[in-house]
Amino acid sequence: MLRSQYNTCMTTLLLILCSIFLYVTPYLNFELFFLSWFFFIPIIFLLERGKISPVRLGLIFGIASNLIATYWVSPTISNLTGAGLGLATSVHLLYSIYESIFFILVFLLVTLSLKKIKNIWFKYIFIIFIYVIFEQNFPRIFPYKLGNSQIIFTEISQLISILGINIISILVLIFNICLYEILFKKKIDVLYILIGIFLLAFYSGRFLENNFQNNFQKVSQIKIALIQPVNSLKEIIKIQKEINLENHQYDIIVWPESSLNKINLKRKEDYKEFQDAFYRNFKFNSKYLLLGSIVENDNGYFNSAILINSEYKIQDLYSKNKLMIFGEFYPLKNILSTIMPIYREFVELKRGEIKVVKTAGGLILGIVICYEDLFEDNAAQLAQLNSEILINLTNGKWYGDTLATYQHLMLAIPRAIENRRFLVRSTYNGVSAIISPKGEIINKIPKNKVGYISNNVSLIRAKSFYSIYKSQIKMIYHVIFGVLLILFLIKLRNK
């Protein structure tokens, strides 16, 4: 009896670990995207057979998967705050427990659906939309969506430009569910459904990819250069001098976030003082230079992107709208500063408004700073404001020699596809890159390497289908879920 219980516990544990491995690995190496097609199979098996409670499963799965996928959080907190690694790890664990709430809620509803719904189609469609709607609405610092795992599967990822990242999450769940029915229920006819859905998605994506050039009008091209330092402003200056020696005339040169420590723009005279100081210390041979810095004005401190013209005047600027919790604003400051005294010395930044940055020549830039490129709403609003290109300024040196900078790059790629815009990223420490509107990485600089890249980049004014109808498409997802939920509740009541 005891041996049987032991074997059952070990089998359950093995299935949980297998599911965690299949779920997390694609976020550590996106080339292994296909592993996501199998992660939900052990989950359904365990929940349908009552091998473990959904609360316990969600807690274990959520904590473990988040600790592994964001393993770099603990050393980053330690580097940012000066806190000990033990305290930083405790904070990371607390956040992972919070993340597990998402899986607990989803697994509870999945278990209820598996037990109460007999109709196979209704049951699985409801489960899929439970996952997708909760994934879309659950508040997260780092939005690791299931669909992100498929971003280098080019044909599939093109569907994002029509139906958003949710459709990729739906497809991954369909693959998992169909494979579960084939493997454990021996329903071979489901294989034909799976093949049909896969081929439909694949060739629809290929059609969108092949017809992209015909559907989107190119207004013009600009020549852009991105600088990537690793540690300091001195590296930026050195690279800029190398660029100045070239015969190329760039339209824009981009420096990363935090290129300069702070710029004071409280008074009108400060603009002139900045112009003179910048001219004395830095030279550039492009029409415009875009760089990141903390800006102080009468309203406080802002994390900003500053556009400087060839006369060294500030042409325009954008201040970050989505601030990083505990990095740029500090809730519970009085309480937490008793644990980390340095915490009380941190200066909170103010939120800026989402706006485009314009050049005198009529070029419209959509700027996203730091991890703003992980959230679709910011980039979508910039597309609605007629931005012709997306530019991301990031400081990745806090993450050290971890996969965080690689994950940041890959999680940002959907912004290019959603809005059918070039996305260019200049970062400290890497990975700086030029990404096409089809989500292809045209050029990049590896992490921990000082250098620059340049390319001709097309300016696109036409809006993608998803960019135009994003609100309506999201509403459709919610309406479908609402209808399924009402039908489910009616069935429960009747029983």
Give strand pairing partners of 455.
224
Q: How far apart are CA 357 and CA 250, in angstroms?
A: 18
Q: Please give the structure tokens belonging to residue 463.
A: 């809006």
Mean pLDDT for 147-170 is: 96
CA proximity to 428, closest of 266, 230, 253: 230
CB 384 within 8 A of CB 409: no
Confidence (pLDDT) at 305: 97
Instruction: Report whether pLDDT(272) > 90.
Output: yes
* 249 to 47, 220, 241, 255, 454: CA distances (angstroms): 61, 16, 14, 17, 11
Q: What is the pLDDT of residues 428-484, one digit of tens each?
A: 998 999 999 999 999 999 999 999 999 999 999 889 999 999 999 999 999 999 999
Q: How far is CA 233 from CA 237, 258, 428, in A?
A: 6, 9, 10
Q: Is residue 151 a contact partner of residue 406, using CB atoms and an 8 Å limit?
A: no
Most confident listed range (169-183, 214-228, 387-401): 169-183
Check pLDDT > 90 for residue 400. Answer: no
pLDDT of 298 strictly over 60: yes
Residue 251, CB-side half-sphere exposure with 13 Å CA sphere: 17
CATH superfamily ID and name for 218-463? Carbon-nitrogen hydrolase (3.60.110.10)
Percent of the chain with pLDDT over 70: 94
Q: Which residues contact 430 (CB under 8 A, 6 or more apart)?
A: 228, 230, 396, 405, 445, 446, 447, 448, 449
pLDDT of 423: 97
Q: Which long-range contacts (CB under 8 A, 24 or more apart) does 52-56 make?
A: 52/12, 52/16, 54/104, 54/107, 54/108, 54/110, 54/111, 55/104, 55/107, 55/108
CA separation for the pair 182, 203 (Å, rounded): 24
492 has pLDDT over 90:
no
Between residues 162 and 77, the one the model is more confident about: 162
Q: In whole numbers, what is the pLDDT of the chain averaged over residues?
A: 91
Query: Can you tell me the distance from the alpha carbon of 162 to that of 464, in angstroms, rounded to the nearest whole number?
Result: 7
Ordered by start, the domain boundaries in the chain are 2-212+472-494, 218-463
pLDDT of residue 42: 97
- In the chain, what are the helix, strand and coil shares in percent, each to the nearest 5? 55, 20, 25
Contact assessment for residue 372 and residue 347, using Cβ atoms and an 8 Å cutoff: no
What was the pLDDT predicted at 345?
62
The answer to whether the CB of 133 falls within 8 A of the CB of 478 is yes
3-state secondary structure of 248: coil
Residue carrying structure tokens 């042409």: 315
Name which of 68-72, 221-225, 330-334, 471-475 the model is least confident about: 330-334
At 167, is the pLDDT very low, low, confident or very high (cuts 50, 70, 90)? very high
Helices (H), 337-402: 376-384
Q: With a cut of 60, say whether residue 217 has pLDDT above it.
A: no
Residue 82 pLDDT greater than 80, yes or no: no
Sort strands 389-395 and 432-435 into parallel, antiparallel or unpaired.
unpaired
Tell me the pLDDT band of 336, cut-offs 50, 70 and 90.
Answer: low
Task: Please determine, for residue 226, whether its predicted confidence score (pLDDT) is greater than 70.
Answer: yes
**Alpha-carbon distance 378 to 411, whole Å?**
14
Q: How confident is the model at residue 71 (pLDDT cuts 50, 70, 90)?
A: very high
Is 314's pLDDT higher than 90? Answer: yes
Contact 320, 302 (CB under 8 A): yes
What count of other Cβ atoms lies within 10 Å of the Cβ of residue 191?
13
Q: How far apart are CA 273 and CA 205, in angstroms?
A: 52
pLDDT of residue 341 exceeding 90, the answer is no
* Residue 12 confidence (pLDDT) above 70: yes
Average pLDDT over residues 219-236: 93
Q: What CA–CA distance (Å, rounded) separates 251 from 224? A: 6
Give the number of other Cβ atoms within 10 Å of residue 118's Cβ. 8
Cβ atoms of residues 284 and 331 within 8 Å? no
Q: What is the pLDDT of residue 114?
A: 94
Answer whether residue 340 shows pLDDT above 70: no
Looking at residue 232, what is its pLDDT?
Answer: 92
429 half-sphere exposure, CB direction, 13 A CA radius: 18
150 alpha carbon, distance to own chain's centre: 13
Q: What is the model's pLDDT at position 339?
A: 62
Report the interhelical angle of 73-81 vs 85-116 (nearest 10°). Answer: 140
